[in-house]
């Protein structure tokens, strides 16, 4: 079996309990490449791989394996262990090649290869402490309303897991420390307004039933699940951009590898052209300071 010129070996190997195979994964990524690549291009990728399927467990791989072909683009990044090369996915063939490596989820940096120290995205990860959907939906609405009050255009997507991500496209002016500091102030203001619903407590034992407003992805070398990435969970759910108006009817794992292509056949990507709305944090930072008192 060949997909986008890539040989898919053991294409009939089931990667998910429902029988979804490696061939299915490769064909899915080839099918969504046009809408997914703008969200992947020019970003280092951490590969989450499951060679024996999700039930057998997987691993994260940051450094590019020596056997990867030369046509897969890479970039050198600084790490605590020194410098290493990581994958960059700029075309459909590279995306499909990762599927051939049983990479279910390519996790992307929040900065680009031309300026790795300055993020062009801010992400607030809303992580519920229970399986109830309504609290995390309410949390997402509160985040969106506050960001709107600050003059920021925010975008929403399902994580394909239990929560939602809210993303703000940025002009890459500030470093990670400044961006994470801003995100932290937003989170603390939200918690001060809704202490029974929200928390910034990282330790699960101290969260109770509250929704975590997680800002830790906003750091150098940290990653987020990009739009249209498959998650390593039963049913092969997909992290999917949605309109704010869809929040009330869209669960975090609503869309799957099987259904998201039908959605894209009926409508455009809600995050299409996102980079054209990149914003500075200068004025929102002033507004946030006034709101926080």
Buried b (16+ CB within 10 A) or exposed e, 181-193: bbbebbbebbbee
Give Cα 263 distance to the centre of its chain: 19
Q: What is the pLDDT of residue 79?
A: 86
Angle at 171 between CA 170 and CA 177, to 5 degrees: 70
Q: What is the pLDDT of residue 292?
A: 86
Q: What is the pLDDT of residue 4?
A: 97
CB neighbour list of residue 44: distance below 8 Å, 6 or more residues apart:
75, 77, 86, 87, 88, 108, 109, 113, 116
Q: What is the pLDDT of residue 102?
A: 98
Q: What is the pLDDT of residue 293?
A: 76
Q: pLDDT tens digits for the chain (293 residues)?
A: 999 999 999 999 999 999 999 999 999 999 999 999 999 999 999 999 999 999 999 999 999 999 999 999 999 999 887 899 999 999 999 999 999 999 999 999 999 999 999 999 999 999 999 999 999 999 999 999 999 999 999 999 999 999 999 999 999 999 999 999 999 999 999 999 999 999 999 998 899 999 999 999 999 999 999 999 999 999 999 999 999 999 999 999 999 998 999 999 999 999 999 999 999 999 999 999 999 87
Distance CA 154, CA 175 (A): 20
Q: What is the pLDDT of residue 246?
A: 98
Q: What is the pLDDT of residue 48?
A: 98
Could you tell me the domains of the chain?
1-109 (3.90.920.10), 114-293 (3.90.920.10)
Distance CA 212, CA 50 (A): 28
Distance CA 167, CA 153 (A): 9
Q: What is the pLDDT of residue 190?
A: 98
Q: What is the pLDDT of residue 82?
A: 81
Q: What is the pLDDT of residue 73?
A: 98
């Amino acid at each position: 079996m060949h997909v986008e010129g890539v040989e898919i070996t053991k294409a009939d190997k089931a990667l998910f309990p429902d029988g979804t195979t490696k061939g299915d994964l490769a064909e899915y990524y080839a099918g969504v490449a046009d809408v997914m690549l703008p969200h992947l291009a020019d970003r280092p990728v951490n590969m989450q791989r499951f060679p024996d399927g999700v039930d057998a467990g997987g691993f994260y791989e940051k450094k590019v394996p020596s056997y990867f072909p030369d046509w897969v683009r890479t970039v050198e990044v600084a790490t605590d262990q020194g410098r290493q090369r990581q994958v960059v996915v700029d075309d459909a063939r590279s995306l499909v090649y990762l599927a051939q490596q049983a990479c279910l989820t390519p996790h992307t940096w929040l900065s680009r290869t031309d300026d790795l120290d300055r993020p062009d995205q801010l992400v607030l990860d809303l992580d519920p402490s229970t399986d109830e959907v309504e609290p995390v939906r309410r949390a997402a609405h509160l985040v969106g309303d506050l960001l709107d009050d600050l003059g920021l255009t925010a975008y929403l997507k399902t994580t394909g897991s239990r929560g939602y991500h809210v993303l703000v496209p940025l002009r890459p002016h500030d470093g990670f420390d400044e961006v994470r500091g801003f995100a932290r102030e937003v989170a603390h203001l939200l918690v001060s307004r809704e202490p029974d619903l929200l928390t910034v407590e990282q330790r699960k034992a101290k969260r109770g039933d509250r929704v975590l407003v997680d800002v830790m992805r906003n750091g150098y070398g940290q990653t987020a699940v990009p739009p249209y990435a498959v998650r390593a969970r039963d049913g092969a759910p997909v992290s999917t951009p949605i309109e704010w108006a869809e929040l009330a009817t869209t669960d975090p794992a609503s869309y799957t590898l099987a259904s998201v292509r039908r959605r894209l056949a009926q409508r455009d990507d809600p995050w299409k052209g996102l980079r054209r709305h990149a914003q500075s944090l200068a004025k929102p930072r002033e507004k946030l300071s006034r709101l926080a008192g």
